[in-house]
Amino acid sequence: MSWRRCPRCGNSLQGDARFCPKDGSPLVEMSGPPASAGTGASRGVAEAAQTTVRKAVTPSAGRAIDPAATLSSQVLDTRYSVLRKLGEGGMSYVYEAREVNSGESVAIKVLSPKLGRDTSSVERLRREAGLAMRLDHPNVCRILRLGETEDGLIYLVMPYLRGELLSDREVKRGPMGPDGGVDILTQVCAGLHHAHQLHIVHRDLKPENVMLEPQPDGTDRAVVMDFGLAKENRSASGLAKLTATGIILGTPEFMSPEQIRGKDLDARSDVYALGIMGFEMFTGKLPFQGRNAQEMMIARLRGQPTPLRQLRPELSPKLEKALAKAMESEPANRYATAREFGLALVETLDPPPSRIRALLG
């Protein structure tokens, strides 16, 4: 799990928060925990030569060791040579690895064993794999394989994307221009429309879930990742069990009003989240203000987003109108599909580039 620091007050926080709960300033990504020597992830590919077949780790007395957290320099399931840890979250660890037989670089998400004993968590991971294996689009990260080791570690295998997260791009370069921002947003619209046509709603769109992969022509391919919260938009008793507790899943800063209220979601909820992402890409700020995530959620339920050109007057009225419609509080007033939103974004450019328009068919 990443660490972020507030440049104004110096407060350090661990997790996915993007704004300081004390003063609302945008948080800056840190390379590691405060006052820490780091994790040694920079050892990189050199570790591959020292890999060993992974065996179950026996914890020392009085100390529990999560075997899913210590896979670097080992061989997972006799198939994947694990190079380094890329990140971790509340229920999984992500590694860069190399497939032993083909030499192909992959990313592997390993479920923590303590959650692997939770049948609902396992069901959710299997559902993620089952949904994402159906996705086949250049702007969506697909799942290659769902596996389980002899000692019970459950893992997902995905292509390893070489690039930078959209969230990191925002921190490094600041607010984007209309051409670059619309290009990225339109690609995300294309990937989401593909998923929505398969009745899959992402539910957790945010800059940390979009990878920008450099292309030979100098452009970036935007890839939507982590369909871990994705939900098939059809009634199914198995899916109902996963949300029967009433827990609202997602990232507070980007949730639609209906998601905050725990209502049924469809493609228009992803359109709303993408509208907020777009606003942040162009301004460096969120369209709803609050001292913390809870206040910003209340603002989305009761207030109106800040007009785009209030912060960036040089941007076009067409772009302001397109983002405002995507962020309408009532789903019926938004774009009905991600493709429709993408086409509206293309029309904000003068002239609209044919390459970008072609992404939406």
Q: Is residue 20 domain-shared with residue 105, that is, in the same domain?
A: no
Radius of gyration of the CA atoms of the chain, in A:
21
> Of the given ranges (46-50, 97-101, 128-132, 310-314), which has the lowest mean pLDDT?
46-50
Query: What's the mean pLDDT in 296-300?
Result: 82
35-42 long-range contacts (CB < 8 A, ≥24 apart) are 39/85, 41/72, 41/84, 41/85, 41/86, 42/84
- pLDDT recorded at residue 346: 96
Q: Is residue 180 domain-shared with residue 149, that is, in the same domain?
A: no
> Of the given ranges (13-17, 211-215, 272-276), which has the lowest mean pLDDT?
13-17
Q: Tell me the sheet residues that pair with 201.
A: 231
SS3 (DSSP) at 330: coil
Please report whether residue 51 resides in a domain: no
Burial class (CB in 10 A: 0-12, 13-18, 19+), 248: middle
Q: Is residue 183 domain-shared with residue 293, that is, in the same domain?
A: yes
Give the whole-number percent of the chain exceeding pLDDT 90.
Answer: 45
pLDDT in tens, 29-58: 554 565 543 443 333 333 333 343 434 444
Contact 98, 105 (CB under 8 A): yes
Domain that holds residue 18: 1-34
Strand pairing class (210-214; 3-5): unpaired
Q: Is residue 217 domain-shared with residue 332, that is, in the same domain?
A: yes
Please report whether residue 256 resides in a domain: yes
Q: Is residue 170 domain-shared with residue 313, that is, in the same domain?
A: yes
Active-site residue set: 204
Distance between CA atoms of residues 21 and 293, nearest Å? 8
Dihedral sign for Cα atoms in the order 193, 195, 199, 203: negative
Please report whether residue 206 resides in a domain: yes
Q: Is residue 294 domain-shared with residue 172, that is, in the same domain?
A: yes
Please report whether residue 312 resides in a domain: yes
- pLDDT recorded at residue 303: 80
Domain count, the chain: 3
Mean pLDDT of the chain: 80
- Can you give the pTM of this predicted structure? 0.75
pLDDT in tens, 120-164: 767 776 776 787 788 999 999 988 898 888 888 888 899 999 999
- pLDDT recorded at residue 332: 96
- Please spell the DSSP secondary structure of 93-132, one letter per residue: EEEEEEETTT--EEEEEEE-HHHHT-HHHHHHHHHHHHHH
Please report whether residue 217 resides in a domain: yes
Peptide bond into 138 cis (omega under 30): no
β strands within the chain, DSSP E: 3-5, 12-14, 28-29, 52-53, 74-76, 80-88, 92-99, 105-111, 145-148, 154-159, 164-165, 200-201, 210-214, 220-224, 231-232
Give yes or no for residue 95 having a pLDDT over 50. Answer: yes
Q: Is residue 325 domain-shared with residue 186, that is, in the same domain?
A: yes
Please report whether residue 50 resides in a domain: no
Q: Is residue 205 domain-shared with residue 280, that is, in the same domain?
A: yes
Contact 258, 269 (CB under 8 A): yes
- Please spell the DSSP secondary structure of 43-108, one letter per residue: GGGGGGGG-EE-----PPTT----GGG--TTEEETTTEEEEEEEEE-SSEEEEEEEETTT--EEEE
Burial class (CB in 10 A: 0-12, 13-18, 19+), 87: middle
Q: Is residue 225 domain-shared with residue 278, that is, in the same domain?
A: yes
Please report whether residue 45 resides in a domain: no
Distance between CA atoms of residues 291 and 344, nearest Å? 32
Residue predicted with more confidence, 51 or 234: 234
Q: Tokens 């077949």 appear where?
A: 53
> Of the given ranges (130-134, 196-200, 257-261), which has the lowest mean pLDDT?
130-134
